[in-house]
Amino acid sequence: MHIRIPEERVGVLVGPGGSMKALIEEKAKAKLEIDSETGTVNIAEAQDPILAMRAADLVKAIGRGFSPERALVILDDDLLMLDVLDLSKAVGTKADMARVKGRIIGKDGRTREIMERLTGVKLSIYGKTASLLGYPEQIRITRAAIEMLLDGAPHGNVYSFLEKKHQEMAKQEMSEQGPI
C-alpha cells in the first residue's frame, strides 16, 4: 500500500529518533518503508489487512497536517474516518485560497475550534485541503458547515447550524441510551 505525503511532513511521521514510526509499526503490526526524498510511504509486512488500511489513513492524516498524537486514534477505533476536502476546487487564485482557509480557521482559530467542539470532529487545514477526522455523522455535519463557509454564508449562520446539529446529536445520544 503506497501513500504519498508532503516531504515536510516526513519528519513528523518518523518522529524524534524514529520513535513515532516505531510506535505506529507496533500498533499497526506492519512495517513502514519511508522514502524521505519523495514522501512515499509503503505499508509492508502487515499482519492484519484492516489494521494496514487504518495505518494508511493514519499516515494520510499526518501528511494532511494532523499531529501524530491527534491522528493515532485512527488505530484505536474502527468507526473513525478520515475525510479530505480539496479546497482548490472551490477557489481560483492563491488569494481566494488564503481567504477560504481564513474563513474556515476563523480569527485566532475560533471557527475551527467551534466546529471541533460542537461536532467532535478533529479538523486540520493544510496546503489546499481541509481534513476531517471523526465519525461519519460528525464528518457529514462538519463538511456541510465548511461548504456553507465556502459558499459565503456568514459565520453566525454557520455557528447556528452547528449548534442546532450539536443539540440534535445530543438528543439522539440520549434516546439511544434510554432511561437510566
pLDDT tens digit string along 17-71?
999 999 999 999 999 999 989 999 999 998 999 999 999 999 999 999 999 999 9
- Residues 54 and 78 sit within 8 Å (Cβ to Cβ): yes
pLDDT band for position 179 (50/70/90)?
Answer: low
**41 and 99 share a domain?**
no
**86 and 162 share a domain?**
yes
Domain end among 31, 56, 75: 75
CATH assignment at residue 11:
3.30.1370.10
**89 and 22 share a domain?**
no
Give me the domain span that covers residue 97: 81-177
50's grid cell: 484492516
Residue 105 has pLDDT above 80, yes or no: yes
Count structural domains, the chain.
2
pLDDT tens digit string along 61-93?
999 999 999 999 999 999 999 999 999 988 888
Residue 145 has pLDDT above 90, yes or no: yes
Q: What Å distances lie between residue 111 and 47, 64, 119, 171, CA to CA?
A: 41, 19, 12, 24
**95 and 156 share a domain?**
yes
Looking at residue 128, what is its pLDDT?
94
Residue 177 has pLDDT above 80, yes or no: no
**Other beta carbons less than 10 A from residue 78's beta carbon:** 11
Looking at residue 178, what is its pLDDT?
66
Which residues fall within 8 angstroms of residue 53, CB to CB, at 6 or more apart? 1
**88 and 67 share a domain?**
no
pLDDT band for position 167 (50/70/90)?
Answer: very high
pLDDT band for position 173 (50/70/90)?
Answer: confident
Domain end among 56, 75, 94: 75
Residue 104 has pLDDT above 90, yes or no: yes
Looking at residue 180, what is its pLDDT?
55
**96 and 173 share a domain?**
yes
DSSP 97-109: HHHHHHHHH-GGG
Is the pTM of the predicted complex or chain greater than 0.85? Answer: yes
Q: What is the mean pLDDT of residues 146-168?
A: 96
Read off the DSSP letter of residue 152: T
Domain end among 41, 75, 109: 75
